Amino acid sequence: MESVAQLLEKIPKYDALPETISALMPILASSVILFAMLALAVLFMVWLERKVSAHIQDRLGPMVVGGWHGWAQTIADALKLLLKEDIVPASVDRVLFKMAPFIVFLGAFAAYVVLPFGSSSFVTDLNIGILYIVAVSSLSVIGIIMAGWSSNNKYSLYGSMRAAAQIVSYEIPAAVAIMTVVLFTGSLSMVDIVRAQTGGIQNWFLFRNPFLFLAFVVYFIASLAEVNRTPFDLPEAESELVAGYHTEYSGMRFAFFFLAEYANMFLVASVATTLFLGGWTQAVPASIMPQIVPGPVVFFVKALILIFIQMWMRWSLPRLRVDQLMYINWKVLLPVSFALVLGAGWMATL
Amino acid sequence: MLTYFRNIGQGIMTIVSSMAIAGRHLFTPSVTLQYPKEKWLLPERSRMRLMNKIEDCIGCGQCARSCPTECILVKTEKRGKEEAPVFASDGTAKKLRTYVFDIDMALCCYCGLCTFACPTQCLIMTGEYEYSVYDKDEHIYHFAAEKPLTVAGESRQNPPEG
Amino acid sequence: MEVDYSGDIMTLNMGPQHPSTHGVLRLELKTDGEIVADAVPHIGYLHRCFEKHVENVDYAGVVPFTDRMDYCAAMNMELGYVLTVEKLMGIEVNNRVRCLRIIMAELSRIASHLIAAGTYGNDIGSFTPFLWCFRDRETILDFFEETSGARLLYNYNWIGGLMHDIKPGLEEKIIEFIDYFEPEVDNLNRLLSDNFIFIKRTAGVGILSPEQAVSYGVTGPNLRGSGVKFDVRREEPYLGYEDYEFDIPVGLGEHGPVGSCWDRYMVRIREVKESCKIVRQAVARLTPGDVREAVPKRIKPPAGEVYMRTECPRGELGYLLVSDGSLKPYRLKVKSPCFTVMSAFREVSRGAMIADVVSILGSFDIVLGEIDR
């Protein structure tokens, strides 16, 4: 936020603004910038997802809108969703039904505050950064339950109950896997975690030691479940629950669910990038090659690689069943993550 | 305990092999045809819209009788003795004047039985498949070219255009 | 399995408009949480009065209607009907017609099983196999279109012959396709069938024991998936199937008990390979001949009653034809394989989970057009 505040001060007559407004301006500007960036990233990710799925399935995907490989297709779709009629079914709980998509989105969006995209491009550096992300991103569960309950649809209810159970359960191995990194940095601040990994690829936590590598794997699997991606897409399992908790939604409200889903995907990829892949730092140490590429670009490339793997998994794997989902969480991921904390703690004390 | 680890191992192995084969398809050429720009080359036997070359039609009504969905309506009358004889292109005398030959393509089941029943091969299925319309009635194609001399069939509308 | 259903029971109507009911089937599920206490299938949403309708259509005109029963395997549907009428009329077709009918029927079986495998993957949550299967199915449909002119509802088998002879050179194309296709099946296996998640989702789920299968009158791949080696092509050969060399794959229960969803699915995948074998042999046996040689000028069977059964991709398809000697059938009763397997659905799915219901339904591979007719 400091860098945003400095930018704002370059605006002529910015000093003339009243104190209350100039105090709010950096917050507002950061939110707008973050939202714009997120919206763009989501549009790109939706397009990428379509292309990846299409090519895995020997199709081409969107090819017409915008010319080159249908790059404008998602923009057109987003416009369509925003312009559609806002349908609220007759028998829903109107207040909850209308609020739910925004709360789901809020949970995803609020976590972006502490993500360090570059050495100076972050909104704020909380000293409990990673804990804040873990806490805030589970907010969306409330929104999902609201959506499922208020829709007055049995499929929505099933979807939301599954989602709640799944997200809450998988928080645990994800958080424990994160703790392995914290053991090494001794700090919960996202910026400190990245700074601890500077100096080339060998300093990334992913390649520091085998425990951290496995912790990355555990976090990646758990994060897939947290964002409801295949093979853990039970809450919106099309063949069973039609569309899960957003069955009754259409138009703009559906678009917000969609946005939240992809924002969550990007969030977990960003967290994994920050924790394990060195955030904005480049693979080649600065002593060998000067750092020409801006930090945010490096960050985005790393995050996109992880997102690509998420998509690749989605279009190759079938879906798990509810009991198997819980089996993997409680009987596989959780013991493994505890063992990893022990191992990593031992390594950190060496 | 052993099965527990074996299951985990097997799960990871098969997931990786599934992803490998899916990933390989990222680089295989796609089979999509960009429809309005590129079009399928239809084989000559394609059974799409029915077409009647009315000048060859002798009005025998075999097609209407063989149609399982009764989508063909043929109305004929005898030509008068004094009229000049009319022949189809294969030399069959057209003893009947066909004043109604309507095919309702919305009813047609594209089985092609009528084309085999036709003795002069004037009723054929063409390769034309892009003929969606806004009104169901526009799917009724009127092929008859001649007007009846008797009043029997005059209540029916004549086609607005070919 | 004993489950205590004393909790609150919620009725969940799955269908008639639901992504995985394969058409317009309604399943009335009594659910206790994720567990299904009872699943009652309601059919009839696609009823088109087929049996009554054909009593008003002449014999040749029935064939297009049989196409529309099981639209995924129209070639096999019409084959069963024309064989029935030919049996009643005592028509003998020549070797070329017999071989071509076998080629088309087996290609149609491959196409149908591809749909079954693809949509089953879709039911389990894997979307890619669906498109891969459809890609290969398109090639088969291309052959059908080149030969008969239609891609889905062919009206290709006529009483006493075939609509058209195949185009010269199609035999080579078919063999070329089979050569390409057989390794593709292994690719599908690696993507879906051998995937651990897929096995966990299907093996041990929806077990139909051999005794149950026989007592419910289940036929086709569903019966063979339960380990009963029964195939009409072997038991009561028609079209000279007795001269062909092919295996009858049965469910072996590699993963869990015999008769699970995985067994039924795998039987279809193995059958595809057997069909490839039959097509190869049939192409080798093609002799020149006129395909419309035995087509009668006027189809007027003698008064009588005849029953003929054939092995269609979904099981044993029987036609009971009663003729009163007129130009139209007096009565035509269809013994539908999907209908019989649906009767076993309730018992098999009791005590399963919601996701398993979808899995069981997909493994039965039903086509509602044929159940409801």
How would you classify the pairing of strands C157-158 and C161-162?
A: antiparallel
Q: Kindly provide the ipTM of the predicted complex, given to two decimals.
A: 0.81
CB within 8 Å of chain C, chain A residues 224-253 = 230-231, 233-234, 237-242
3 state DSSP class of B125: strand
Distance CA B10, CA B15 (A): 8
The whole model's pTM is what? 0.86
- Whether A120 contacts chain C with CB within 8 A: no
* Lowest mean per-residue pLDDT among C17-21, C147-151, C341-345: C17-21
Question: Average pLDDT for residues A19-37, to the nearest whole number?
Answer: 79
Best residue in B8, B14, B25 for a mutation probing chain C (most C CBs within 10 Å): B14
Give C39's pLDDT tier (boundaries 50, 70, 90): confident
CB within 8 Å of chain A, chain C residues 201-260 = 201
For residue B30, give the nearest of A60, A312, A332 by CB distance.
A60
Distance of CA A290 to the CA centre of its chain: 30
Using alpha carbons, select from A54, C197, C43 the residue that is nearest to residue B13. Answer: C197
- Whether C11 contacts chain B with CB within 8 A: no
For residue B113, give the nearest of C60, C147, C187 by CB distance.
C60
CB contact under 8 A, C127 and A53: yes
Using alpha carbons, select from A131, A128, A279, A268 the residue that is nearest to residue A205. Answer: A279
3 state DSSP class of A73: helix
CB within 8 Å of chain B, chain C residues 91-110 = none
Residue C244 has pLDDT above 50, yes or no: yes
| pLDDT score of A97 | 87
Interchain CB contacts (distance < 8 Å): A and C:
82
| pLDDT score of C198 | 87
* Lowest mean per-residue pLDDT among A210-214, B19-23, B75-79: B75-79
How would you classify the pairing of strands C315-323 and C304-312?
A: antiparallel
Q: What is the DSSP secondary-structure string of C311-365?
A: EETTEEEEEEEEE-SSSS-SEEEEE-HHHHHHHHHHHHHTT-BHHHHHHHHHHHT
Give A317's contacts in chain B (Cβ within 8 Å).
15, 18-19
| pLDDT score of C231 | 86
- Whether A295 contacts chain C with CB within 8 A: no
* Percent of chain A whose predicted confidence (pLDDT) is above 90: 0
Best residue in A59, A60, A321, A328 for a mutation probing chain B (most B CBs within 10 Å): A60
| pLDDT score of A65 | 83
pLDDT tens for B56-65 read 888 888 888 8
- Whether B54 contacts chain C with CB within 8 A: no
Give B153's pLDDT tier (boundaries 50, 70, 90): very low
* Mean pLDDT, chain A, integer: 83
Whether the CB-CB separation of A244 and A235 falls below 8 Å is answered with yes
CB contact under 8 A, C354 and A242: no
| pLDDT score of C2 | 61
* Residue C168, amino acid: P
Distance CA C278, CA B113 (A): 30
- Phi, psi torsion values for C47, nearest 5 degrees: -70, 125
CB within 8 Å of chain C, chain B residues 22-41 = 22, 25, 31
Residue C126 has pLDDT above 60, yes or no: yes
Number of H helices, E strands in chain B: 3, 5
| pLDDT score of C6 | 60
CA distance B6 to chain A (A): 12
Residue B161 has pLDDT above 80, yes or no: no
Best residue in A57, A218, A313, A316 for a mutation probing chain B (most B CBs within 10 Å): A316
CB contact under 8 A, B18 and C192: yes
Residue C371 has pLDDT above 80, yes or no: yes
CB within 8 Å of chain C, chain A residues 139-158 = 154-155, 158
CB within 8 Å of chain A, chain B residues 12-71 = 15, 18-19, 21-23, 25-32, 34
Question: Average pLDDT for residues A218-242, to the nearest whole number?
Answer: 81
Domain extents for chain A?
Answer: 92-348
Q: What tokens appear for A88 in the block?
A: 């609220």
Whether the CB-CB separation of A200 and A272 falls below 8 Å is answered with no
Give A230's contacts in chain C (Cβ within 8 Å).
125-126
Give the chain A residue whose CA is nearest to the CA of B14.
A317
Look at A22 and A232; give whichever has higher pLDDT: A232
CA distance C250 to chain B (A): 24
Give the chain C residue whose CA is nearest to the CA of B7.
C196
Distance CA A34, CA A256 (A): 16
CA distance B44 to chain A (A): 27
* Lowest mean per-residue pLDDT among A236-240, C151-155, C211-215: A236-240
Using alpha carbons, select from C199, C143, C197, C135 the residue that is nearest to residue C167. Answer: C143
pLDDT tens for B91-109 read 777 777 778 888 888 888 8
- Whether C263 contacts chain A with CB within 8 A: no
Residue A255 has pLDDT above 50, yes or no: yes
3 state DSSP class of C2: coil
| pLDDT score of A2 | 62
Distance CA A206, CA A169 (A): 24
* Percent of chain C whose predicted confidence (pLDDT) is above 90: 1
Tokens 């993550």, located at residue = A337
For residue B22, give the nearest of C67, C153, C191 by CB distance.
C191
Distance CA A225, CA A236 (A): 12
Question: Average pLDDT for residues A43-52, to the nearest whole number?
Answer: 88
| pLDDT score of B152 | 52
Best residue in B15, B17, B26, B34 for a mutation probing chain A (most A CBs within 10 Å): B26
Continuous H helices in chain A? 2-9, 19-56, 73-83, 94-110, 129-137, 139-150, 154-185, 190-195, 205-208, 210-226, 238-241, 251-276, 295-314, 322-327, 334-349
* Lowest mean per-residue pLDDT among A138-142, B68-72, C2-6: C2-6
E strands, chain B, are 50-52, 72-78, 96-104, 123-125, 140-142
CB contact under 8 A, A318 and C198: yes
Give B22's contacts in chain C (Cβ within 8 Å).
128, 191
Using alpha carbons, select from B106, B101, B94 the residue that is nearest to residue B72. Answer: B101
Distance CA C116, CA C268 (A): 8
| pLDDT score of B157 | 45
* Mean pLDDT, chain C, integer: 86
CB contact under 8 A, B31 and C135: yes
| pLDDT score of B154 | 45
Give A228's pLDDT tier (boundaries 50, 70, 90): confident
pLDDT tens for A115-128 read 888 777 677 777 88
pLDDT tens for A266-310 read 888 888 888 888 878 777 776 777 777 777 888 888 888 999 988
* Lowest mean per-residue pLDDT among B147-156, C79-88, C361-370: B147-156
C39 to A155, C13, C54: CA distances (angstroms):
16, 10, 33
Tell me if the bond preceding C221 is cis, omega within 30° of 0. Answer: no
CB-based burial label for A85 (10 Å; 0-12, 13-18, 19+): exposed
Give the chain C residue whose CA is nearest to the CA of B11.
C196
| pLDDT score of B159 | 44
- Is the sign of the CA dihedral A200, A203, A209, A214 positive or negative? negative
Best residue in C55, C148, C155, C157 for a mutation probing chain B (most B CBs within 10 Å): C155
CB contact under 8 A, B68 and C65: yes
| pLDDT score of C1 | 54
Residue B119 has pLDDT above 60, yes or no: yes
Give B158's pLDDT tier (boundaries 50, 70, 90): very low
| pLDDT score of B160 | 43
| pLDDT score of B58 | 82
CB contact under 8 A, B18 and A317: yes
CA distance C158 to chain B (A): 10
Name the interface residues of A facing B (CB cutoff 8 Å): 52, 54-60, 63-64, 312-313, 315-317, 331-332
Tokens 């035995």, located at residue = C294
Give C127's contacts in chain A (Cβ within 8 Å).
53, 57, 315
Give B151's pLDDT tier (boundaries 50, 70, 90): low
Question: Average pLDDT for residues A231-250, to the nearest whole number?
Answer: 78
Radius of gyration of chain A (CA): 21
The residues facing C41 across adjacent strands are C27
Q: What letter does residue B79 receive in the DSSP assignment?
A: P
